C-alpha cells in the first residue's frame, strides 16, 4: 500500500516515517503540500493519505472532499489534537475515515494503517470482480452486438462502462448510437500522466445517464498510441468508478489483450455452434491455459443458439471441457435491424428471446455490494 504523509512539520514527517517503516508499506513524505492535495494525490497515487491537521487553519475540508470523491479507494486519516464534535462532523462529511489524537501510543496508528491496508486489498478484489471481458472465437461471432446490448440492459440497474479495445477497427459505439465519437481511448493514452477520474469520465460517451462507452480510435493508425500499461491503468481506474466494466476485445493475442484479460474477473468466449468456431475456441482456451487463467474465470456464450443444431451443448462441453455455458437465441432479422439502425435491440423488441437471455446473463456479473465502515463506526469502535 502507498502511504503519503503531508505536514508542514518535517520533524513530524520523520517521526511517522520511522514509526511506519516496519509496516513494510511504501511511504512518501510530502512536506507542506496540504494546499495542493489534489495535485499531490494525482502524482503520488496514495492508498492512504495521512494529513497533519493539528493546525486547524492548515486543513481545507472542501479540498479533502474533492480528492476523496475523485479517489474513492483512498483512505484519509487526520492527525488532530481535537475531538470537538463539530470538527469530527466536518471531517466525516469530507470523507475522512479516521481521526487520530496523537502518535503516542503508536498502536492506534498501526491499527488504522492496517485497516486501510485491508480496505485496499478488499477493494482490489472487488474492483477486479467488476471487469468482464468478451472475446469472439471467430470473426462475426456476435461479440460486439452482445456486449453493447448487454451493457445497455445492465445499465438499468448499474453504472456501466464499456471499453472498446478493438483498437484498429472498433465499432461498438455504432451499435448503440449514430455518429462519430468525439473522444476516444487514444486521447487518454496520449495524456496518460493526467489520467484521473475526471479525465476518464470526460473521455467517455454517455449513451444513457448510467451507460458510458470509451470508444476505440477513429483511425486505425492511432491504435499504436494505446500501450498495454495504459490499458491496465485505465481499467484499474474504471473499476473504481463504475459498478461494471465490460470489454469488447479483438481476437489478437498480444500484450494489450493480456493486459486487459489480467484485469478481468471473467472472460466470456462468444462462439456459434459450428465446427470452425469450436476449433478456434479450443485454440483460444489453450492460450488462456498457458496464461494461467483458471477455468472458473472462463464462460462460454453460444450465440444464435438453436436447439435443433447438429452441434449440441453436450457436444460443445465434450469438446471444450466443463465450462459454464450460456446461450443466446437466434434473431437474425431483429438483430440486423437494431444494428443497422444503431440502436439497442431492447428499444425495438423488448420481449425478444435475445433480451431475455441477456437478462439471465446479467445475474452472473452483478457487482458485489460495498459497505465501507464510516468515520462514525470507526469512532464508535474506538470508544
Ligand X SMILES: Nc1ncnc2c1ncn2[C@@H]1O[C@H](COP(=O)(O)OP(=O)(O)OP(=O)(O)O)[C@@H](O)[C@H]1O
Please give the residue ranges that form the binding site for ligand X (CB under 6 A): 136, 139-145, 303-304, 328, 330-332, 335-336, 339, 354
Provide, rounded to whole angstroms, the least separation between the CB of residue 141 and ligand X: 4
68 binds, among Mg ion, ligand X, none (CB under 5 to 8 A by kind): none
Quick note: the x/- pattern for Mg ion over 131-150, rule CB under 5 A, is -------------x------
Determine which helix (DSSP H) or strand (DSSP E) holds 230, and give its type and residue range. helix 228-241
Grid cell at residue 203? 473521455
Of the chain, the end-to-end C-alpha distance in Å amounts to 27
Q: In this structure, is the dihedral angle defined by the CA atoms of residues 261, 264, 266 and 269, taken in order, positive or negative? A: negative
Provide, rounded to whole angstroms, the least separation between the CB of residue 202 and ligand X: 27
Cβ proximity of 267 and 365 under 8 Å: no
145 binds, among ligand X, Mg ion, none (CB under 5 to 8 A by kind): ligand X
Provide, rounded to whole angstroms, the least separation between the CB of residue 306 and ligand X: 10
5 binds, among Mg ion, ligand X, none (CB under 5 to 8 A by kind): none
User: Measured from the CB atom, is 130 or 304 closer to ligand X?
Assistant: 304
Question: Looking up cell 513530524, which residue turns up?
Answer: 12
User: Measured from the CB atom, is 224 or 336 closer to ligand X?
Assistant: 336
Provide, rounded to whole angstroms, the least separation between the CB of residue 304 and ligand X: 4
Grid cell at residue 359? 437478462
Per CB under 5 A, 212 contacts Mg ion:
no
Q: In this structure, is the dihedral angle defined by the CA atoms of residues 55, 61, 63 and 65, taken in order, positive or negative? A: positive
Provide, rounded to whole angstroms, the least separation between the CB of residue 289 and ligand X: 22
Q: Number of residues in contact with Mg ion, rule: CB under 5 A?
A: 1
Provide, rounded to whole angstroms, the least separation between the CB of residue 309 and ligand X: 13
Provide, rounded to whole angstroms, the least separation between the CB of residue 34 and Mg ion: 48
Kindly give the residue spans of alpha helices, DSSP state H, lying in 292-372. Answer: 313-320, 332-341, 345-348, 353-362
149 binds, among Mg ion, ligand X, none (CB under 5 to 8 A by kind): none
Residue 144's Cβ-count burial label (10 Å; 0-12, 13-18, 19+) is: buried
Grid cell at residue 150? 448487454
303 binds, among ligand X, Mg ion, none (CB under 5 to 8 A by kind): ligand X
User: Measured from the CB atom, is 31 or 353 closer to ligand X?
Assistant: 353
User: Measured from the CB atom, is 14 or 336 closer to ligand X?
Assistant: 336
Cβ proximity of 175 and 153 under 8 Å: no
304 binds, among Mg ion, ligand X, none (CB under 5 to 8 A by kind): ligand X
354 binds, among ligand X, Mg ion, none (CB under 5 to 8 A by kind): ligand X
User: Measured from the CB atom, is 144 or 203 closer to Mg ion?
Assistant: 144
| DSSP E strand stretches across the chain | 2-7, 26-31, 48-52, 75-79, 98-100, 131-136, 160-164, 205-208, 211-214, 244-249, 266-272, 298-305, 324-329
User: Measured from the CB atom, is 179 or 332 closer to ligand X?
Assistant: 332
User: Measured from the CB atom, is 144 or 280 closer to Mg ion?
Assistant: 144
Burial 43-57 (b: 16+ CB within 10 A, else e): ebbbbbbbbbbbeee
Q: How far apart are CA 16 and CA 27, in angstroms?
A: 10
Q: In this structure, is the dihedral angle defined by the CA atoms of residues 361, 362, 363 and 368, taken in order, positive or negative? A: positive
Determine which helix (DSSP H) or strand (DSSP E) holds 94, and give its type and residue range. none
Provide, rounded to whole angstroms, the least separation between the CB of residue 143 and Mg ion: 5
User: Measured from the CB atom, is 22 or 333 closer to ligand X?
Assistant: 333
User: Measured from the CB atom, is 7 or 166 closer to ligand X?
Assistant: 166
Provide, rounded to whole angstroms, the least separation between the CB of residue 167 and Mg ion: 12
Binding residues for Mg ion, rule: CB under 5 A, are: 144
Amino acid at each position: 500500500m502507498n502511504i503519503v504523509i503531508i505536514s508542514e512539520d518535517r520533524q513530524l514527517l520523520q517521526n511517522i516515517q520511522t514509526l511506519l517503516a516496519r509496516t513494510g508499506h511504501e511511504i512518501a513524505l510530502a512536506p507542506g503540500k496540504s494546499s495542493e492535495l489534489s495535485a499531490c494525490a494525482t502524482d503520488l497515487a496514495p492508498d492512504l493519505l495521512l494529513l497533519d491537521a493539528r493546525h486547524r487553519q492548515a486543513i481545507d475540508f472542501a479540498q479533502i472532499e474533492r480528492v476523496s470523491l475523485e479517489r474513492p479507494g483512498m483512505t484519509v486519516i487526520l492527525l488532530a489534537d481535537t475531538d470537538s464534535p463539530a470538527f469530527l462532523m466536518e471531517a466525516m462529511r469530507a470523507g475522512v475515515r479516521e481521526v487520530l489524537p496523537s502518535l503516542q501510543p503508536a498502536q492506534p496508528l498501526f491499527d488504522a494503517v492496517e485497516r486501510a491496508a485491508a480496505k485496499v486489498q478488499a477493494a482490489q478484489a472487488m474492483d477486479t470482480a467488476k471487469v468482464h471481458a468478451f472475446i469472439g472465437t471467430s470473426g462475426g461471432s456476435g461479440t460486439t452486438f452482445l456486449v453493447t446490448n448487454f451493457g445497455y440492459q445492465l445499465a438499468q440497474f448499474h453504472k456501466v462502462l464499456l471499453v472498446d479495445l478493438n483498437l484498429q477497427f472498433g465499432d461498438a459505439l455504432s451499435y448503440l448510437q449514430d455518429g462519430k465519437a468525439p473522444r476516444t481511448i487514444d486521447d487518454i493514452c496520449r495524456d496518460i500522466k493526467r489520467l484521473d477520474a475526471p479525465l476518464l469520465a470526460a473521455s467517455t460517451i454517455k449513451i444513457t445517464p448510467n451507460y458510458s462507452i470509451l470508444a476505440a480510435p477513429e483511425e486505425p493508425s492511432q491504435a499504436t498510441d494505446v500501450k498495454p500499461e495504459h490499458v491496465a491503468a485505465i481499467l484499474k481506474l474504471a473499476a473504481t468508478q463504475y459498478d461494471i466494466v465490460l470489454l469488447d476485445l479483438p481476437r489478437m493475442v498480444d500484450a494489450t489483450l493480456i493486459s486487459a484479460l489480467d484485469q478481468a474477473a471473467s472472460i466470456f468466449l462468444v462462439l456459434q455452434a459450428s465446427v470452425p468456431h469450436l476449433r478456434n475456441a479450443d485454440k483460444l482456451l489453450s492460450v488462456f491455459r498457458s496464461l494461467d487463467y483458471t477455468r472458473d474465470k472462463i464462460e462460454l456464450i453460444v450465440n444464435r443458439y438453436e436447439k435443433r443444431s447438429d452441434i449440441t451443448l453436450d457436444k460443445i462441453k465434450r469438446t471444450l471441457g466443463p465450462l459454464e455455458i450460456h446461450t443466446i437465441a437466434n434473431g437474425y432479422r431483429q438483430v440486423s435491424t437494431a444494428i443497422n439502425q444503431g440502436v439497442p435491440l431492447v428499444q425495438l423488441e423488448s420481449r425478444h428471446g435475445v433480451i431475455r437471455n441477456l437478462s439471465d446473463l446479467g445475474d452472473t456479473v452483478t457487482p458485489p455490494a460495498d459497505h465501507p465502515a464510516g468515520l462514525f463506526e470507526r469512532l464508535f469502535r474506538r470508544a
